[in-house]
Amino acid sequence: MSSTATQITPEVVAEHGLSPEEYDRVLKAIGREPNLTELGIFSVMWSEHCSYKSSKIHLMKLPTKGPQVICGPGENAGVVDIGDGQAAIFKMESHNHPSYIEPYQGAATGVGGILRDVFTMGARPVANMNALRFGRPDHPKMKHLIAGVVHGIGGYGNCVGVPTVGGEVNFHPAYDGNILVNAMTVGVADTDKIFYSAASGVGNPIVYVGSKTGRDGIHGATMASADFGEDSEEKRPTVQVGDPFTEKLLIEACLELMASDAIVAIQDMGAAGLTSSSVEMASKGGVGLHLKMDDVPQRETGMTAYEMMLSESQERMLMVLKPGREAFAEGIFRKWELDFAVIGHVTDTGRMVLEHKGEIVCDIPLAPLADDAPLYDRPSMPKDAYKLWAKVEPLGETPESADIGADLVTLMGSPDIASRRWIWEQYDHMVGADTVQRPGGDAAVVRVHGSNKGIAISTDCTPRYCYADPYEGGKQAIAECYRNLSAVGSTPLAVTNCLNFANPQRPEIMAQLTGCLEGMGDACRALDFPIVSGNVSLYNESKATGGGSAILPTPAIGGIGLLADIDIMATVAFKDEGDAIWLIGGEGAHLGQSIWLREVAGREAGDAPPVDLAAERAHADMVRALVAEGTVNAVHDISDGGLLVTIAEMALAGGKGATLDAPLTTAAAFGEDQARYIVTAPAGADIPGATKIGTVGGDSVAGVALTTLRTAHEGFFPALMNNEL
């Protein structure tokens, strides 16, 4: 496929995901008809996945600054100060479309990509998290998808030697034809050794390192910017293939080179591969570049410039080096058995020039590719119209539970609450020996190596709330993450996100996106919890399931907090017989959109629970103070399933039951009112502003034996994966 031979027809333009109007913009930008290579470069850079053309104007409204923020959105990852001359560098990204097509490699390369985003900034990765969404457990494809995704995440993370310390999993029919795989990585770097991506220095060498380029992943970014048709299986060639062992070598080689003064700029090759990395580096630096495609390391014969520029082969980086440092850098990468090649240089032209086999195969201005990509303010349904469209039934009267204990057993074994042990046991969550709070609690905690500081990490989102009320759902996603970080005793620092929505060209979907973002923004401002990085994944819907089903709006939130001393940290497990159980935040009353309503009453109805941000802040402050003082010995925030599920989880974690002081109504037992926590403290301790509701002890909760609860809680995933459901 030559760069010039193929005629650019409307059909070719459409195959590249560009609208006729966008193609007209390409013609104006370059002043002539593009060749195929140039068209391909515009198509991936202007894809939804790379340009954020439907969301950017709304993302700009989010709060991104704070005294702790060293670098906000716009770089490979966000950077926050954690004291002592150190920074935490973190981000979350999606690999949804590839993971549905080829679950193992899709999930694995999602982990590889987010690891590169973090270590490209000079950080050593210390922890991975994930946020997963699957369809109905009994859907014929779902077991295959779950097994592939979980093994892909575990396989890559375990091999590369970074612990996977937690995450979240939800199930809903809306994800039958489009599962979500969001991966998050946290790393630690010295604040004076952070690397950025802006290229500079005319004449400086541009260097390619890592693995050779193949034909895998071509059009991956374009594929991820469209919904699934009935031919989703045919898109398997667009999925990249990862090699975690090479990634480990790449991490070590990059960090070794970063310890020197050789690097001017560095960028990983993620979506859109060599195209996006080179364009982003040059445009951020306001420079041009000249690349010789013959010098790109290739693992397949006869590759065209088009293929090399659009390949998404994994485990690759692009760097600008200081002049004269090429041999030094090459020595490091050869030592680690990685490819190293000088493939071009920085120019002052502001253009991307590609040379292949003695011919100029691309010569286009860089500014339109990055800075002048289309931006759309898509029509958005008004809130009242959205409510009508969403067809969320009013809650109405809900009968009292006939058997609170039986309902508790049902909930503890239900897909969204059941133990995730089967999943996290596939992950090496202890590699590196710095994991101090394992999966299963409110937040994971990882020690900052060589210190007693800890980084708390949580991923959160409740899509059913976001569907029923995007604004309150967006608020709640931030608030729950804030609660989880506070529950272990950490000070919440900042947020990354992965905004998963369906087709933005539908006004009802834009209503979900803008509503969620508005709620997230208000929550972040109220809680001093800025958003420093993130990713947008749109067109998450599928005709493959027969109805054009859109996913639930899923703005997944990844948050980190700082523990000054990991010895002063709370966990969810009940500690001692006779400890008093206290409720912070008042009795539950809200059953709308609750797990109880769905799993027991068989309804998805009512409003999402309202989020009082002042109460969230006040109660979180209170909890952190109680942990710091040593007043409480167990903490768990109340979320899915309400108060009684929270207490049951604490009881199972500690192997001790609970006696409650008074019978519970259905709403008090299972209501999902926000800004609430359960804490325990030794008998005789007083907790002003909290209500004592019971005592730790015995071998049951709400009259149900712990053994019965444990069987229900631990049974779902093994039964599902063993074909016993």
At 241 the pLDDT is 78
Cβ burial, residue 539 (10 Å; 0-12/13-18/19+): buried
Mean pLDDT value across residues 519-545: 91
Task: Please give the span between the terminal C-alpha atoms of the chain, in angstroms, as a whole number.
Answer: 50
For residue 650, name the pLDDT band (cuts at 50, 70, 90). Answer: very high
pLDDT tens, residue by residue, 80-91? 999 999 999 999
Strands, DSSP E only, in 100-215?
124-134, 164-171, 180-190, 205-210
At 725 the pLDDT is 66
Between CA 161 and CA 255 the distance in angstroms is 15
Q: What are residue 83's DSSP bridge partners?
A: none
Question: Which ranges constitute the DSSP H helices of 204-315?
Answer: 220-223, 244-258, 273-285, 305-310
Is residue 395 helix, strand or coil? coil
pLDDT tens, residue by residue, 228-287? 455 444 444 556 678 899 999 999 999 999 999 999 999 998 778 899 999 999 999 999
At 240 the pLDDT is 67
Residue type, 419: S
Indicate whether 4 pLDDT > 50.
no
- Residue 535 phi/psi, 5-degree rounding, is -155, 150
Within 10 Å of residue 615's Cβ, how many Cβ atoms? 17
Angle in degrees, CA 383, 386, 391, rounded to 5: 135
Task: Tell which wins on pLDDT, 433 or 658.
Answer: 658
Q: What is the token pair recorded at 406?
A: 């039986």
> pTM, whole model, 2 decimals?
0.95
Q: What is the token pair recorded at 224?
A: 């991820």
pLDDT tens, residue by residue, 157-205? 999 999 999 999 999 999 999 999 999 999 999 999 999 999 999 999 9
At 2 the pLDDT is 42
Mean pLDDT value across residues 439-468: 96
Indicate whether 3 pLDDT > 90.
no
Contact 26, 39 (CB under 8 A): yes
* 7: Cα within 13 Å, side-chain hemisphere: 3
Q: Which of 681, 704, 701, 702 is nearest to 691 (CA)?
A: 681
Contact 667, 597 (CB under 8 A): no
At 547 the pLDDT is 45
Angle between helices 244-258 and 326-335 (to 10 degrees): 140
At 682 the pLDDT is 97
Which active-site residues does the annotation give?
A: 49, 95
pLDDT tens, residue by residue, 290-301? 999 999 999 999
Output the average pLDDT for the chain. Answer: 93
At 543 the pLDDT is 65
pLDDT tens, residue by residue, 191-245? 999 999 999 999 999 999 999 999 887 765 554 545 545 544 444 455 667 889 9
pLDDT tens, residue by residue, 298-343? 999 999 999 999 998 889 999 999 999 999 999 999 999 999 999 9
At 544 the pLDDT is 55
Indicate whether 64 pLDDT > 60.
yes
At 236 the pLDDT is 41
* Least confident among 5-9, 232-236, 263-267, 394-398: 232-236
Q: Which of 388, 604, 610 is nearest to 507 (CA)?
A: 388
Between CA 264 and CA 366 the distance in angstroms is 20
Q: Is residue 151 within a helix (H) or strand (E), and if so which, with residue range?
A: helix 142-160
Contact 90, 186 (CB under 8 A): yes
pLDDT tens, residue by residue, 475-493? 999 999 999 999 999 999 9
Between CA 268 and CA 247 the distance in angstroms is 12
pLDDT tens, residue by residue, 536-583? 999 999 765 444 589 999 999 999 999 999 999 999 999 999 999 999
At 220 the pLDDT is 54
Q: How far are the Cα atoms of 87, 640, 645 from residue 653, in angstroms, in the given order?
A: 33, 17, 12
At 649 the pLDDT is 98
Angle in degrees, CA 587, 404, 584, rounded to 5: 20
At 232 the pLDDT is 45
Question: Which ranges constitute the DSSP H helices of 505-612?
Answer: 507-527, 595-599
Indicate whether 452 pLDDT > 90.
yes
Between CA 180 and CA 172 the distance in angstroms is 11
Between CA 416 and CA 281 the distance in angstroms is 42
Contact 657, 699 (CB under 8 A): yes
